[in-house]
Amino acid sequence: MNNALILIIEDEPEIAEIIEAYFAREGFRVITAGDGPLGLAHHHRLRPDLVVLDIKLPGLDGYEVLAAIRRRGDTPVIMVTALAEDLDKLQALRIGADDYVVKPFNPLEIVARAKAVLRRTVGRSGGHVLRVGPLVVDPQAYRAAVDNEAGSVTLDLTRTEFRILAHMAASPDRAFERSELVDACLPESEALDRTVDSHVSNLRRKLAGAGADGLLVGVRGVGYRLDSSHGR
């Protein structure tokens, strides 16, 4: 669970940095946005496991962002706001927020609530086993394997390799840009696109060694994708 990707949508940089630091300290991956439209763009592109969302935002307010997220799916959302009125809380919960924290807050409380929400929603938010052709990825067990005629071959992956593979396995056949994989899987580093190429090259070698050569393919001018038709 601590490998989950957290999207923080907060227009006050100091607050966003504090929340980000506490999540990162617990091992979470974190990406931030300072306004509603950028937050929605990150949500669409990166498919985070949980969103920490302020209500008062430029561009689109938190209620509008939450409504748009709910139209797309059921990503868990924790609202964080200075508004303490019951009607504001009820409005957020009615639209579909999973939890609600009022400023000023203890950052440890937000992390604890996020963990609780992720435990409750793991089945709906992508924590289930992912299957792409012969590839089986279990995000909770942090395990990836290839099923072939000889049985199941567990892949010996680095943390970053697993992040990339799990992120792509959640959307098989979708072409991922290199920059997107950097944002989603290496947000805490200064990684460049060519760093992704190196990790993908290692993944391809390990997949081939397990009998899944050709599963991870390049998309000219874009990046990479997992081919769900592999092995059929």
Q: Domain 5-121 in CATH: superfamily?
A: Response regulator (3.40.50.2300)
Q: Which of 24, 19, 20 is nearest to 2 (CA)?
A: 24
**Among 77, 66, 31, which residue's Cα sits nearest to residue 180?**
31
pLDDT class of 105 with cuts at 50, 70, 90: confident
Pick the CATH number of 130-226 from 2.60.40.10, 3.30.70.270, 1.10.10.10, 3.40.920.10: 1.10.10.10
Q: How many CA atoms lie within 13 A of 59 on its CB side?
A: 14
Residue 155 CA to chain centroid, in angstroms?
A: 21
The pTM assigned to this predicted structure is 0.60
Pair type for strands 50-54 and 5-9: parallel
- Reported as a single tens digit per residue, the pLDDT across 63-96 is 999 999 988 878 899 998 776 666 666 777 778 8
Q: Which part of the chain is CATH 1.10.10.10? A: 130-226
170, pLDDT greater than 90: no
Under the banding of pLDDT at 50, 70 and 90, the label for residue 60 is very high
Tell me, what DSSP letter sits at residue 230?
A: T
Ranges of CATH 3.40.50.2300 domains, the chain: 5-121
Peptide bond just before 104 cis, omega within 30 deg: yes
Asked whether the predicted pLDDT for residue 125 surpasses 50, the reply is no
In the chain, % of residues over pLDDT 90: 44
pLDDT tens, position by position, 16-38: 999 999 999 998 989 999 999 99
Report the C-alpha gap between 188 and 93 in whole angstroms.
Answer: 31
